[in-house]
Amino acid sequence: MTRRRGSILLATLSLSACPQGDDTPQVSERLLDPASCEECHPKHYRQWLGSMHAYAADDPIFLAMNARGQRETGGALGDFCVKCHAPMAVALGETTDGLNLPELPQHLKGVTCYFCHNVESVGGTHNNPLVLALDSIMRGELNDAVVNDFHDSQYSPDLDDAAIASGKMCGSCHDIVNNHGVHLERTYQEWVDSFYDTPDPENPELTIYFGNTCNRCHMYGSPEPIADYEGVKQRNLRDHSLVGVDLALTDFPDATLGPELVAEQTAASDKQRLPSVCAGLCVRPADAGGTDVVVWLHNEAQGHAWPSGATQDRRAWLQLEAFDGDATVISSGVIPPEQSVAEAGLADPTLWVFRDTATNAQGQPESMFWNITATESNLLPIAAEAGLKYDKSTWRERAWHVDGPVDRAKIQVNLRPIPHELVDELAAEEMFDPAAIKARIRTNVAGSTQIEWTPDAAIMTDYEGPCVYSASCFCALANETGACNE
C-alpha cells in the first residue's frame, strides 16, 4: 500500500526535559527505531534486518569478547567495541562499555538506519570518529527526495556511492587501530592504497572510470522506487543486506525469521564472492623428475585485500587434491567442517593459509586484540595501479612436488570468518555453547577458484606449462591467454 502524505506522524527531535547536567540530545524513539522505517522502506528494512549491521550488538562472539576485554583491562577497554557495534547507545549515553546491552531496547543496538543516515561529518579514519547531527534529517544520496511527513531529507556525499567520501564513512568502523597502535582491521586503508580509490582528474570528488567505492560492491543498486510513498519515482534502490563473509551465528531476530535471513545472506554472499580470487593451476614435469603442481592466486576484483576485516581471525586456505588414476597423490587443505584450520595445519605442513598472525608483547601468538602488539600479514593484496594486465608482484604462487605422474588435479579456496579456536577460548565467558556456534560457522568457497586440471582442459603457456585458470576477464588478461572482449 502506498502511503499518502499526512498518514504518518512527524518524528521530531526533542531537546527539552533533559535532566540537569545531562546535555545529551533526546531524539524521538520513533525516528531511532528501524522498525518505523519499514513502513515506507519495507525492502530496505528486510535486507538490513538480515545484515551484520543489525546483528552487530547481538553477536555472541562480540558480547563474549567485549566482556572478557572489560574484565582483563579493568574497564580500560571502555567503549572501544561498543561504539561500532551499538553506536546509538553510546551516542545517547545509554552505555559506556557495552556490558548492559542485553538490558537496552533493540532499536539502540547494532548499526541502525538512523545512525548511518544522520551522520553530519566524518572526523577521522578509524575507530568510529563519525559525528551525528542528532536531528530529524535523514541524509542520503538524493538531492531531490520527496517531501514526506516522517523525516526531513538532505543530500550527503558520505552516503553517495559515486563519491569517494562515502568510503571514508564506511572506513570509520571498518578500520580499527588498537590501544597499542596496531592496525588490526585495514579494509578502508587497503581500499585507499588501491587503484579503486583513484580520483577522476575532471572531478576529484568521484572515482576515475575504473574506480569503485564500498557501496558499489556492498550496496549494489536496482532500478525501482526506494519508498512506498506517494510521489516517489523509480530510483536506484541500494541493497541494504551489506553483504560480506560473516553470517549470524544465532537465530536473529527470532527462530522463525532468522533462518530465512541467513539463507538470503548466504545466497547474496556466494554471488558477491564469485569473482573475488583469480586462480591458476599448472601441472608440469619437474626438472629433476616427477611432477610439479603449481597454484597461483590473485586478488582479482575486491576493493581491498583478500580476506579483509578482522584478518587475525579470518582463515582462508587453499584446498588442493591431485590424482594419478584412482590414487590420491596430494591432499592438502581438505578440512571437514568440524575440524579447525589450526588442527589441520598440524598434520598438513603444506597447508596454504591466508590470514594475519598476531603476537603479544612476549612474542607469543595472541587472539585477544587488546594484547596484540604486532601482526604479520599473509593476505592477497590489491594492486595499487590498474592497467590492462595486473601487476604480477601481487600474485601469490606455491608449488607441490610428487615423484610420480599426475593426470588430474583440482583446487578451491575456502574461507571461514571465525576460527574454531577463538570460539573455544571465548566460551570460558559462559555466554554460549561453543559446539553450537562452531556448527554454524560456514566454510565459504570462492567460486571462481573451483577449477580442475586435466591434460585435455589445460592450455599451454610459455612459462608455467599446461595450465587451467579461472574463467573470468581479468584472470585471462593476467595470464596473457585471453582478453575481455573475447
Find the helix or strand (DSSP H, E) in which 140 lies. Answer: strand 137-140
* 253-308 tens-digit pLDDT: 999 999 999 999 999 998 887 778 989 999 999 999 999 999 999 987 789 999 99
How far apart are alpha carbons 368 and 133 in whole angstroms?
34
Mean of the pLDDT values across residues 351-363?
Answer: 98
Mean of the pLDDT values across residues 177-205?
Answer: 93
pTM for the full predicted model: 0.90
How far apart are alpha carbons 298 and 394 in whole angstroms?
7
In DSSP notation, 388-430 reads SS--GGG-EEEEEEESS--SEEEEEEEEESS-HHHHHHHGGG-
* 399-455 tens-digit pLDDT: 999 999 999 999 999 999 999 999 999 997 777 899 999 999 999 999 889 999 999
Instruction: Decide if 128 contacts 173 (C-beta within 8 A).
Output: yes
Mean of the pLDDT values across residues 369-389?
Answer: 87
- 429-439 b/e (C-beta count within 10 Å ≥ 16 → b): eebbebeebbe
DSSP alpha helices (H): ranges in 27-184?
Answer: 29-32, 34-37, 42-49, 52-55, 60-72, 82-85, 87-91, 113-117, 165-171
Query: What Cα–Cα distance (Å) separates residue 342 from each residue in 285, 311, 339, 398, 461?
Result: 32, 15, 8, 20, 36
- 333-359 b/e (C-beta count within 10 Å ≥ 16 → b): bebeeeebbeebbeebeebbbbbbebb
Q: Where do the DSSP E strands lie in 176-247? A: 176-177, 183-185, 199-200, 203-207, 221-225, 234-238
For residue 307, cis peptide bond before it (omega within 30 degrees of 0): yes
Model confidence at 6: pLDDT above 50: no
pLDDT bin (cut points 50, 70, 90) of residue 24 is low
For residue 253, cis peptide bond before it (omega within 30 degrees of 0): yes
Q: 94: number of CA atoms within 13 Å, CB side?
A: 21
Residue 82: what residue type?
Answer: V
How far apart are alpha carbons 20 and 283 in whole angstroms?
75
**Residues 6 or more apart in contact with residue 229 via CB below 8 angstroms:** 2, 3, 40, 146, 148
pLDDT bin (cut points 50, 70, 90) of residue 19 is very low
* 46-65 tens-digit pLDDT: 999 999 999 999 999 999 99
Mean of the pLDDT values across residues 457-471?
Answer: 90
Q: For strands 327-332 and 353-359, give the pairing.
A: unpaired
Residue 194: what residue type?
Answer: S
